[in-house]
Structure 1
Amino acid sequence: MRLFPRAGPTASMVSATSIVVSGGIAVRGIGLLKLIYAAHVFGTSDAQDAFLEAFLLPSLLSDVLAAAVAPALIPALIRASTEGRTAGAVALYRAAFGAGLATTLVAALVLGLFFPFALPVLASGFGKEKSALTLRLLLVMLPLLPLTACNVLWRCILNAGNRFVLAALAPVATPLASLAVLYFGAARWGIQALAIGAVAGSAVEGILLAQGVYRLGYPLIPKLKGALNRLGPVLQQFGTILLSSVLFGCIPLIDNAMAAGLATGSLSVFGFGTKLATVILSLGPASIATGALPQLSRLAVVGDWRVMRGSLLHFGKLILLVTVPIVAVLMLFSGQLVRVVFQKGAFSTQAAYEVALVQRYSLLQVPLAVISALGFRLASSMAANELVIPAAGVGVAVAALADYQLRRILGVQGIALASVVTQLSVIATLGFLLKRRMSKQRLGVHTEAVPPGGDAL
């Protein structure tokens, strides 16, 4: 088998992923400029801590929504389109639009009401004034939830229709708007400029995506009536994926809670130190999911599981071939990179040193996260989505234990190192479960087919 195929499913996945990665680089590049400028203005201050804590839950819920909706909805949309039921695909989209918008509006209301009670637990080291600022910032960013619901759905439509370029580049609007609002409004609004910019950018992104969706023939009006009946098969897949996503989403909450319980500025150090790993993860495993999902869904429609599995394994080798050398170089030059990027203005030499240590430890998880993502796709090809749930549960338990133990030894750097232990536990658990399922398939014990509209993380 050629390492770099010219045709076939793997070539299609590589092409789509290349587009997604290119768009992601543009988005993260502008996001990095915003991060650098924010670090220059606010440093590792209490205001920066408050913003990071306030942004955590809306961004976490948005990430969970994005992770669960695409794998559940895109296969169903492609199945409907492949079978020539264009009207059915449009009806499915409108039902998902209505249900998603209604759900996120309710979620925003609930989050705004209950966040004051959860804040003392999530940020035990915050004082009264710092907690009040965190709450104000959260209220400003609550519109991110319904805006994200629209944007995620519209990106699904574009990706299912092989319109990867617009779906990949439209998110540039969010960091660009945040940077603009921060630059022109920081003196007037302070840290709230970051929150306002995030909401404005998400709205601009939605406008761009909506235009592309409309040109594909999909209306921009949701339909809530009868949505549950039409979304039955999708919701079944969504529930399994959502539970896994929620469990995995608990891990950054645990990490941030552990960091917030340390000395002042520790949460900011952890946030800056893990930012690079987060960016790479969004361009690695996340790009795999985005670029590969439509092609895998088309293979699922025709039931070609052998080709699907072979394509995933081949694709994984290519991803590791690219990821491992990049991570090694970044770890080697981590200190220099942090000093060049962050050590300006209010960002001290000591803060730069601590951020560099966190960054080195956090980068270790990147190749492991790629392996995890491939495990999720392999589970999907075997109709074994439910195996991801126990793996996620083990990951949460190990994250809490490893964070607690390693922060006692290494401080905030220990929390970053704990992410490596967490990834290893997920890989080991999922690998064991997949191996056992594969043995049953070889013996003919397990012969289920993927259900309509099915896919996994």
Structure 2
Amino acid sequence: MMRGVYSGQSTTSMNLLKALATVSSLTLLSRILAFVRDVLIARIFGAGAATDAFFVAFKLPNLLRRLFAEGAFSQAFVPIFGEYRNRKGHDETKLLVDHVTTMLALILFLVTLVGIVAAPILVYISAPGFIKDVEKFDLTVQLLRITSPYIFFISLVAVAAGILNTYNKFWVPAFAPVLLNLCFIGGALWLAPYFDPPILVLAWAVFVAGFVQLVFQIPFLKKIGMLPSIRFSLKDEGMWRVIRQMGPAVFGVSIAQISLILNTIFASFLVAGSVSWLYYADRLMEFPTGMLGVALGTILLPSLSKLHASNDMTEYSKLLDWGLRLTFLLALPAALALGMIAVPLLATFFQHGEFSSHDVLMSRNALVGYSVGLIGLILVKILAPGFYAKQDIRTPVKIGIVTLLATQAMNALFIGWIQHAGLALSIGLGACLNSAILFHFLRKRGIYRPEPGWVKFFLKVALALLALGLALWFGKGSEQHWLEAHGWARILHLSALVVGGVLVYFAVLFVLGFRLKDFAKRGAN
């Protein structure tokens, strides 16, 4: 099907498929621990006012994590950092790192102070529906003040990640989120009884995790000679280029995340538990977006930036084509599975303790909404680097504005019809619109030219999806069965569903001629 399309470029090149496997494997480990974390939170704290308060308090600093660690900072910094590394030598590159880190640290310190001092205002803006419940509002403010320093730590973690990824040390930043989940798990399991109210332990886990993730990356930065020093200068043009790029990039890359914050505002006016139902559905949806979308975006950007710097637009287009094919190959079955076995997934992972069957069904509605737009959510992370590697900020920003307006219009349309599930659906459909417009402009400007064989590719994937759908439909049984089953019965049945579905899907692809080596792609060091 694709033999010869993605030939290697040199023996010194890095195998991007291997890098993707490494990042995805560590992301899988992180997501597994995240599920353990969320199962514990659901079991210990349930889905109510306290968890709603924590999720709102964590959503603001967590948004910064997504924007910086998985979005805007990488898109703004990595192309310029790669340009310095390739053209200006070690000393000037190190100077750029020092100036950018020092300036960013100062800005982040002020942002953190604002988060602490203005916590009541921020909660009022992000969850105005909480104001009618004074106890819930005050708890959210208290939690936000504890979690605010996470913004400082995790943004500096993003600086380290951008540097290490450019040096092809992908595994180090990919492992850092594991530490966050370990802090959550340890706090929830062993320390919750020592806090009053117990939900405070989760906020302190966020604080500690940010510090630990930053310290973890320091030895690796030192090893490659890029450990930042405190140097302040307002005359570094490279630093100002990064800062100028970051503002628009925050908006252009992270429309879905901004929409999630706006969705919290809408959800705060709905029945108690709505914020938590959206959160648990979002956690499952993040599994494929992290393993594929974030991982692919992470490894593509440095190579795309180098190809742009060397003006090799043929390979630039081929690299985008490679990313798109992998996305459709892996994201479409993930979206189908999330929609079809939403109840089995939610019941198995979360229906324990205070998390009831009603919570499962309500979270199911949100997860089905997210699954409709999963392909769009992942494609945005593949297509946006096609612009950012060329240091084109304006195009994604304009597209982002259109997407944000469309998403909020859909929110207004859907929320009265299907409540919180409508908020999830609007996020997914908005992401599909975003990715479609990004793709249109990549094609229109000649940045991306599809390689041969796309029609046959889609036909074969469609047949494999049909087989997967039939296997899941006949294998999952009734929803009532999952709501009434317990423990190992659920785990074994779900494991059989997942393993069976994977085997069916890839067996059909194999019969149709797909081979792993056809997707071997090399990117420059």
Give the TM-score normalised by structure 1. 0.90
The match for 2:217 is: 209
Answering whether residue 98 of structure 2 is matched by residue 94 of structure 1, we say yes
Answering whether residue 8 of structure 2 is matched by residue 2 of structure 1, we say no
The match for 1:44 is: 47
1:353 is displaced (CA, Å) by: 1.2
Provide closer, same or farther for how the CA distance between residues 51 and 289 of structure 1 changes in structure 2, counting only shifts above 3 A: same
* Contact 1:74/1:160 (8 A) holds in 2: yes
1:360 is displaced (CA, Å) by: 1.8
Q: Which residue identity is paired with 2:334?
A: I
Q: Which residue identity is paired with 2:20?
A: T
Instruction: Determine the C-alpha separation between the residues in 2 that align with 1:432 and 1:315.
Output: 16
Provide closer, same or farther for how the CA distance between residues 148 and 292 of structure 1 changes in structure 2, counting only shifts above 3 A: same
Instruction: Determine the C-alpha separation between the residues in 2 that align with 1:381 and 1:229.
Output: 19
2:193 to 184, 187, 192: 187
Instruction: Determine the C-alpha separation between the residues in 1 that align with 2:204 and 2:274.
Output: 25
Provide closer, same or farther for how the CA distance between residues 426 and 104 of structure 1 changes in structure 2, counting only shifts above 3 A: same
Instruction: Determine the C-alpha separation between the residues in 1 that align with 2:167 and 2:404.
Output: 35
* Contact 1:308/1:381 (8 A) holds in 2: no
1:87 is displaced (CA, Å) by: 0.6
Instruction: Determine the C-alpha separation between the residues in 2 that align with 1:417 and 1:246.
Output: 17
The match for 2:471 is: none
Instruction: Determine the C-alpha separation between the residues in 2 that align with 1:246 and 1:16.
Output: 24
User: 1:349-399 CA distances to partner (integer Å, 9 max, x unpaired)?
Assistant: 111111122112212221122332333233346664311112111111112
Instruction: Determine the C-alpha separation between the residues in 2 that align with 1:313 and 1:5.
Output: 9
Instruction: Name which of structure 1's ranges 122-131 and 243-252 shifts more when overlaid on structure 2.
Output: 243-252
1:38 is displaced (CA, Å) by: 0.4
Instruction: Determine the C-alpha separation between the residues in 2 that align with 1:294 and 1:323.
Output: 22
Q: Which residue identity is paired with 2:300?
A: A
Instruction: Determine the C-alpha separation between the residues in 2 that align with 1:421 and 1:163.
Output: 34
Instruction: Name which of structure 1's ranges 37-46 and 223-232 shifts more when overlaid on structure 2.
Output: 223-232
Structure 2 residue matching 1:284: 3-state secondary structure:
helix
Instruction: Determine the C-alpha separation between the residues in 1 that align with 2:34 and 2:5.
Output: 31
Q: Which residue identity is paired with 1:151?
A: V
Instruction: Determine the C-alpha separation between the residues in 2 that align with 1:431 and 1:322.
Output: 19
1:162-181 alignment runs, 5 A limit:
162-181=168-187
Answering whether residue 211 of structure 2 is matched by residue 197 of structure 1, we say no
* Contact 1:96/1:227 (8 A) holds in 2: no
* Contact 1:98/1:227 (8 A) holds in 2: no
Provide closer, same or farther for how the CA distance between residues 228 and 435 of structure 1 changes in structure 2, counting only shifts above 3 A: same
The structure with more radius of gyration: 2
Structure 2: runs of 5+ lacking an equivalent: 450-525
1:339 is displaced (CA, Å) by: 0.9
Structure 2 residue matching 1:221: 3-state secondary structure:
coil
1:28-67 alignment runs, 5 A limit:
28-66=31-69, 67=71
Provide closer, same or farther for how the CA distance between residues 4 and 56 of structure 1 changes in structure 2, counting only shifts above 3 A: farther
Instruction: Determine the C-alpha separation between the residues in 2 that align with 1:95 and 1:383.
Output: 20
Instruction: Determine the C-alpha separation between the residues in 1 that align with 2:84 and 2:387.
Output: 23
Instruction: Determine the C-alpha separation between the residues in 2 that align with 1:350 and 1:4.
Output: 50
The match for 1:449 is: none
1:401 to 402, 409, 414: 409
Structure 1: runs of 5+ lacking an equivalent: 442-457
1:342-421 alignment runs, 5 A limit:
342-380=350-388, 384-421=392-429
Instruction: Determine the C-alpha separation between the residues in 2 that align with 1:4 and 1:195.
Output: 49
Answering whether residue 83 of structure 2 is matched by residue 82 of structure 1, we say no
Structure 2 residue matching 1:231: 3-state secondary structure:
helix
1:242 is displaced (CA, Å) by: 2.9
Answering whether residue 303 of structure 2 is matched by residue 303 of structure 1, we say no
User: 1:213-259 CA distances to partner (integer Å, 9 max, x unpaired)?
Assistant: 11111234322234654413323333332342465542111111111
Q: Which residue identity is paired with 1:27?
A: S
Instruction: Name which of structure 1's ranges 235-244 and 318-327 shifts more when overlaid on structure 2.
Output: 235-244
The match for 1:221 is: 229
Answering whether residue 162 of structure 2 is matched by residue 156 of structure 1, we say yes
Instruction: Determine the C-alpha separation between the residues in 1 that align with 2:383 and 2:209.
Output: 34
The match for 2:146 is: 140
Instruction: Determine the C-alpha separation between the residues in 2 that align with 1:3 and 1:415.
Output: 43
Structure 2 residue matching 1:162: 3-state secondary structure:
coil
User: 1:12-55 CA distances to partner (integer Å, 9 max, x unpaired)?
Assistant: 33222222111111111111111110000111121100000111
Instruction: Determine the C-alpha separation between the residues in 2 that align with 1:31 and 1:426.
Output: 28
Instruction: Determine the C-alpha separation between the residues in 1 that align with 2:156 and 2:48.
Output: 34
